[in-house]
Amino acid sequence: MQKQVAVIIAFVAGLMPIIGFFIPARVIRETIVGTLDNWLIIVSAFALVLGVESVVKVNVLKISRRQKGWFNSVIYLLALFLMAIFGITMGIGERADGSVTPFTWMFRAMVDPMTSTMFSLLAFFIASAAFRAFRARTVEATLLLVAATIVMLGRIDIGAALRIPELTEWIMNTPNMAAQRGIIIGAALGGASMALRVILGIERPYLGQSD
Amino acid sequence: MSLLKYVQNLDRRIIFLFVGLGTVLPIIFPIGFPISVTAPVQIIYDRIEAMEPGSVLLLSFDYGPSSAPELTPMADAVMRHCARRKIKVVGLSYLILGGADMAEAVMSEVGRDLGLEYGVDYVNLGFKSGAPAPMIRLARDFHGVFPLDNRGNKVADLPLMRKVRSYADIDFIVELAATMLGDYWINVVNARFGEEMAMGTTAVSAPRYYAFLESGQLTGLMGGLKGAAEYEVLINQRGIAARGMDAQRIVHIMIILFVLLGNVIFFLERSTKKYSLLSG
C-alpha cells in the first residue's frame, strides 16, 4: 500500500507541471502547479538538512573508530558547526556600515582562497599532462591537437595575420556548435524518457529500487 | 642519458616552475598585450548600452570561489557599465556554495566605488534553493520567492523592489554560471517565459553555450577570462581580467610549446624504433 501511495504521488506530481505547461487555466497554473513549485523549494531545503545529517554520520563514525585521517573529520565537523552557528545567530553578508558578519569573514578568508587554490592547481597539472599525453598518434588525435592549438592561440589574440582569431570563432560556431547541439538534444531526449519512466512508475528511484 | 631521454622524462616540477613563473610574473609586471573584442561580447555591451536609464537588469551569480577568477571580473564590469548608464541591478543566486556572497562582494564594492545606494540602485536578493522551481515562481512573484534580501531586509520595503514583481519588470538578464544552472536559465526562463538573456561562463563551459547563442536563446556570451577582459576593454576600464590575460597568453604559449616538444620527441622516438627494427 505504501509503495502504491508513493507511485501515485510521483505520478500526480510529475503530471501536473506538464498539464500546467500546456493548459493555461489559472486554477492549474497558479493554484496547483504554483503550490507544487513552492513545495519543491521547501523540499530541496530539507535535502540540505539530509546532506548535513549524512556527512555528520560518516565523520562521527570515522572519529569513533579512529580511522586513518580521523583528525581531518574533527576539523571538518568543527568548521561545519562553527559556520552554521555564526550564520544562524549573527547573519550572513555585509552589515549596513560595510563591515562583514563572522560567517562572511570566514567564507572570504578561508573557504574562498582554499577553493580557488584547489582549482588553480589544474593549470599546473594540465600543462604537465599535455606534455606527456597529448600526442598525434591517430588522425582523430591529430585533428583534436590542431583544433586545440588554434583555439588556444585564438583565445590569446595571436596569429591575426593568419586569421587565427576568426578561425577560432568558426571552430566554436560551426563544428563545436553542431556537436554540442547533438549532445544537448540527445541528453534532452534521454532526460524526457527517464522522466516519463519515473512518472509512469517504471523507474522508482524514490523507493530506492527500479524494476 | 641522451638528451632525448632526458626531455622525455622531464621532471614535472620543472614544468610546474615554468607555469608558476609564467602566471605570477605578468601579474606583478603587467605587459598590456592588446585584447580584441569578439562579436558575442560586443552584443552584450551594445544591448546594455541601448537600455534606458532606470531600466532593470537581473544579474544571477551562479558561481562559487573556484570560478570567481573568471566570472567575478565579468560581474564587476557589467555592474560598472550598468551604474554608468544609470541602470538598476537586481542580483540573486541559485548556487549554494558562495553564490550569494559572490554577489554581495561585487555589488558592495562597485556600490562603494561609484556611490550607489543599496535598495535604490541595486539589490542582492541572496540565495534560494531548489532551482528551477524558484525560476518558474519568479515569473509571477519575486516578493514571494525572496521575502528577505541577503542582508535580512524586507524585499517589499526596498524602493527598487517595489517596481520589480515579475520577469515583466526586468529588461535584460545576465546569467553568470559555472554549473548546470546556466542550462536551467535558458530552458526555463528564456524558452518558457521568453526573457531575453546573455550569459557569462568559464572558458571550459563556453563551447557548450555556443549552441544556444546560434539558436538565438542567448543574446550574447562571455567565455572565460578573455570574455571578461573584452568587456573591460569595452567599458574602457582595464582591470584584473585584462591583467590576467597577460598571464593567460604566456601560459597558453608555454603549453603549446610543451605539447609541440612532446610530439617532436614522440616522432623522433618512433622513427628511431623503426630504424632499429629495419636495420636488424
Instruction: Give B280's pLDDT tier (boundaries 50, 70, 90).
Output: low
Does pLDDT of B86 surpass 60?
yes
Interface membership of A201 toward B (CB under 8 Å): no
- pLDDT tens digit sequence for A85-125: 999 999 888 887 878 899 999 999 999 999 988 888 988 99
- The residues spanned by each domain of chain B are 3-30+245-278, 39-237
Kindly indicate the confidence band of residue B32, based on its pLDDT and cuts at 50, 70 and 90: confident
Round the average pLDDT of chain A to a whole number and report it: 89
Residue A134 in contact with residue A149, Cβ under 8 Å? no
Check CB contact under 8 Å for B104 and A30: no
Distance of alpha carbon B217 from the chain centroid: 18
Please report how the helices B224-234 and B68-84 are oriented relative to each other, as an axis angle in degrees rounded to 10: 20
The C-alpha cell of A110 is what?
578561508
Per the model's pLDDT, the better-predicted residue between A4 and B59 turns out to be B59
Which cell numbers hold the place of A77? Answer: 565537523
pLDDT at B1: 56
Nearest Cα residue in chain B from A183: B208
- Record the cell numbers describing residue B239, joined without a space: 582591470
Q: Which amino acid is at A151?
A: V
Residue B54: all three cell numbers together = 532606470
| pTM (two decimals) | 0.87
The band of A209, judged by pLDDT with boundaries at 50, 70 and 90, is low
Classify domain B39-237 at the CATH topology level: Rossmann fold (3.40.50)
Per-residue pLDDT reduced to its tens digit, B162-183: 999 999 999 999 999 988 899 9
Bridge partners for B118 per DSSP: B122
Q: What is the mean pLDDT of residues A26-39?
A: 84
A140-196 tens-digit pLDDT: 999 999 999 999 998 888 877 788 888 998 999 999 999 999 999 999 999 999 999
The pLDDT value given to residue A35:
87
In whole angstroms, give the CA distance from residue B256 to residue B254.
5
Please report which confidence band the pLDDT of residue A46 belongs to, taking 50, 70 and 90 as the band edges. Answer: confident
Could you give the count of Cα atoms lying within 13 Å of B204 in the half-sphere of its Cβ? 12
Give me the mean pLDDT over the B70-81 stretch.
Answer: 97
Contact B152, B159 (CB under 8 A): no
Q: Which residues of A touch B214 (CB under 8 A)?
A: 173, 177, 181
Q: What angle do CA A194, A195, A198 make, to 5 degrees?
A: 90
**Domain spans in chain A, listed from the N-terminal domain onward:** 134-211
Spacing of C-alpha A166 from chain mean position? 32
Q: What is the pLDDT of residue B163?
A: 92
* Beta strands per DSSP E along chain A: 203-204, 209-210
For residue B69, give the nearest of B207, B247, B196 by alpha carbon.
B247
A152 vs B69, B252, B266: nearest CB: B252
pLDDT for position B65: 92
The secondary element (H helix, E strand) that includes residue B123 is: strand B122-127
Q: For residue B10, which residues of chain A lie inside 8 Å, CB to CB?
A: 131
pLDDT band at A82 (very low <50, low <70, confident <90, very high): very high
Output the CA–CA distances (angstroms, integers) from residue A68 to A58, A71, A72, A78, in the order listed. 13, 8, 9, 18
pLDDT of residue B8: 78
pLDDT tens column, B218-253: 999 999 999 999 999 999 999 999 989 999 999 999
Q: What is the mean pLDDT of residues B6-19?
A: 89
Yes or no, beta carbons of B101 and A41 under 8 Å apart: no
Residue B233: how many CB atoms within 10 A of its CB? Answer: 20
| B179, three cell numbers | 554549473
Contact, B167 vs B138, CB < 8 A?
yes
| Residue the block writes with cell 536559465 | B185
